[in-house]
Structures are given as structure tokens and as C-alpha cells.
Structure 1
Amino acid sequence: MTALWLQRHAQPLVAPGVCYGRTDLAADDRATAAAAQALQGAWTAEALPAGTVWHSPLQRCTQLATALQMQAPAFQLRACNDLAEMDFGAWEGQRWDGIAREEMQAWTADFMAYAPGGGESLATMMARVTRALDAARQQARETGQPVLWISHAGVAQCAHWLLTRGQRLPLAKDWPSVKLAYGEWLRLPLFSDL
């Protein structure tokens, strides 16, 4: 099975309860080093060759990609804008519990098309994750190896949804479809019958 390994960045340096989406934050250095070590250990345990690490260009993901490369220099890093977190527009930097209830209701009522804070809609984000998945499939076909992404919870949600539910559109009640803690990864099959 050719898999997508999707690693989430380590704990960002932000107060709990803050919407930070596309905000370019650093992550905790110790947590980043531990996440890189765990991932490199799992990759080695499965005897997988070092290849290209696709990562979000946001600092917290670049940190983890760089830490992984320091432990395993054969990994090559490639920033990919399609792997960035959702842009929450004017909501960025606000506490989730401080966002107007009407705005949150508008988002849940039109979950795919509404752009939270005037930022990016889920439909737009799903389209760019679909592009990234197409590139991952192409790489897997060419190399016969798994693909490694270092990204965000939102990207993990989109990839998981697209790879496990096909073209069915999510509703707010369906989300999140998977939970991925800071520094954790999941493996998803890149090719399926969906």
C-alpha cells in the first residue's frame, strides 16, 4: 500500500483558545525536536528510504522539516503552499470564544462556501489539498515509495476526508473527521476505490 504520511507540526507558541490558522508562528523547539525524532524513528523502523519532505511554508512546519533533515540529512525539503493551514482572515489572532456567534453560525450553516473572517472557504482549501494529493500520487507512482507531508490539522482534515470519503461534501457536523494532536502523524492510503 502506497501511503501518505501526514505529520502535524509541534505545539505552536500561541495562547490556548486563539484562532491562528495562517498566522506564521514558531513552534516549541523541544516539542519540534521530539516530533522529528519520533517520525524519523518510525520511518527508519519501516526501512523506508529518505525522500522528499513536502511541508507547509509556515514557520512551525518548516521548523519540523528542518529538524527532521538534521537527523536524517538524506531527506530533501520542498515547501508547498497548498499545504498551508486555512486562512481565517479577520479571525486570525482572536480568541475562538470571542468571535461573534452569528459569524460562527453563518460558517456552520454554509460550511463549504463560507469564508470565515473573510479569509478562505473550505471549498477553496479542499481544492488546494486535492492538488497536493494529485502531486503526492504522481510522486508515489514515480518512486513506488510513501509520501511525507509536514503540515497542519486543517490539511490533515481535508486529506483524510478526501481519501476516505471521496467527493461527498462535508457538513459542519461531520467535522473534524480525524483528530491529530501536535507532533503526531497518520498514514492514509493514497490510492483507493472511492
Structure 2
Amino acid sequence: MEVFLVRHTTPDIEKGICYGQSDLDVASTFVDEAERITSELASHTFDAIYSSPLIRCKKLANQFQQPVILDDRLKELDFGDWELKNWNAIPKAESDPWMQDFVNVSTKNGESYVELQQRTIDFYKDIQQQKHQKVLIVTHAGVIRSLWSYWHQTPLTNSFDLKVAYGEILHINTKEL
């Protein structure tokens, strides 16, 4: 199956804010960003388009003039009590253990990166059963990195070596793995 992973466009939030599963709208640059992405993918026909249900993904997915299947498993990491807080305002006593082991340690009332990866792998295994040839997935950097890590059998601790800009498109043929 060919999979096209697209990170959502620039969100409407100031830098330095923790916003994993917070349902943010898109920045004023959305139209230009979306036009570039849809243009780059215009030559492709997708069997299905999947998206995180969060606004910043859903708006982009809806630009493709095809039904969109929303799936909660494509949401970004749940930062729990840290959502919408400035990273600098999170007490070091809370953030230090997470920073030292962000893969296994969950945030207070949130989830760990391992938990995020498990739900994204579950999603991937489910869509494999659909026998699609080519799919588009509009989602978040954490989801993209966790799937990329799974497909390439690399440790989650190394997944941040994969830089994923807003609106970036990654392509993989899972039959070649």
C-alpha cells in the first residue's frame, strides 16, 4: 500500500505553547499552504483519505474533494494537564521526568509516546485490512514520526531525527518494507 502522510498546516497559536490534542484552528496562511499541498498531490487518486478529527487536520483533508474518514487514533499526543500551557510554565518537577524519558513517561492526565504509537499501529493494521492501494493520511508530527519509526524499525527515542514541517508530505510504499 502506498501511504501519503501529510502534517497539518500551521496552527493558529503562539510559539512556545504545548498544544497536542487541543483543537486549534489554522493560521491565516492556510489557503496558501493548502493550495501548495493539494497541488503537489493532484496527480494522485486515493482509495481513502483518513484524518485526525482535530480542526487543523480536518480542514486540510476536506480540501481534497473526497469523503474523509475521521479517526481519533490519528490525534496528536495527549499532553493532559499541560495542554495550552507555555512550556516554560510547566514546573520542572513535572517536566524533567518526561523530558528524560518522553517515550515511556506520560504527562499528568496525558499519554506516553509508546501509547500514541500503539494506537497509530492499531490504526495502520486496521487500514491494511481494507486492501487499499493508495491512501492519504492527514495528521500530526507525533503520529507521523511514530508510524515512520514503526515502518523503519527504529527506536522511538530516535524518531525526532525525522523533521516534519507544517504541510510536509511524506510518502512510503509499505510493500517495500
Residue in 2 aligned with 1:176? 160
User: How far has the Cα of 1:44 moved from its partner?
Assistant: 2.7
Native 8 Å contact 1:7 1:183 kept in 2: yes
Native 8 Å contact 1:9 1:150 kept in 2: yes
Q: Report the 3-state secondary structure (helix = DSSP H, G, I; strand = E; otherwise coil) of the residue aligned with 1:54.
A: strand
Native 8 Å contact 1:163 1:189 kept in 2: no
- Point out where structure 1 has 5 or more consecutive residues left out of the alignment: 70-74
Which residue identity is paired with 1:44?
A
Native 8 Å contact 2:38 2:63 kept in 1: no
Residue in 1 aligned with 2:127? 136
Q: Decide which of 133, 144, 150 is 2:138's aligned counterpart.
A: 150
The number of equivalent residue pairs is 177
Residue in 1 aligned with 2:84? 93
Native 8 Å contact 2:46 2:136 kept in 1: no
- Point out where structure 2 has 5 or more consecutive residues left out of the alignment: none
Q: Report the 3-state secondary structure (helix = DSSP H, G, I; strand = E; otherwise coil) of the residue aligned with 2:163.
A: coil
In angstroms, what is the RMSD of aligned CA positions? 1.9
1:65 to 2:66 alignment: no
Change (3 A) 1:78 1:9: same
Native 8 Å contact 1:163 1:192 kept in 2: no
Q: Report the 3-state secondary structure (helix = DSSP H, G, I; strand = E; otherwise coil) of the residue aligned with 2:32.
A: helix
Cα distance in 2 for residues equivalent to 1:35 and 1:135: 30
Which residue identity is paired with 1:163?
W
User: How far has the Cα of 1:29 moved from its partner?
Assistant: 4.8
Residue in 1 aligned with 2:72? 81
Cα distance in 1 for residues equivalent to 2:174 and 2:126: 11
Native 8 Å contact 2:2 2:172 kept in 1: yes
Cα distance in 2 for residues equivalent to 1:50 and 1:109: 40
User: How far has the Cα of 1:28 moved from its partner?
Assistant: 2.1
Which residue identity is paired with 1:185?
I
Residue in 1 aligned with 2:15? 16
TM-score (norm 1): 0.82
Residue in 2 aligned with 1:162? 150
Native 8 Å contact 1:35 1:184 kept in 2: no
Which residue identity is paired with 2:145?
Q
Which residue identity is paired with 2:92?
R
Cα distance in 2 for residues equivalent to 1:183 and 1:89: 25
Cα distance in 2 for residues equivalent to 1:81 and 1:104: 26
Which residue identity is paired with 1:37?
E
TM-score (norm 2): 0.89
User: How far has the Cα of 1:66 moved from its partner?
Assistant: 1.5
Identical-residue share of aligned pairs (%)? 29
Change (3 A) 1:68 1:30: farther
Residue in 1 aligned with 2:51? 55
Where do residues 20-59 of structure 1 align in structure 2 (5 Å cutoff)?
Answer: 20-31=19-30, 33-45=31-43, 48-59=44-55
Where do residues 92-131 of structure 1 align in structure 2 (5 Å cutoff)?
Answer: 92-131=83-122
Cα distance in 2 for residues equivalent to 1:104 and 1:147: 36
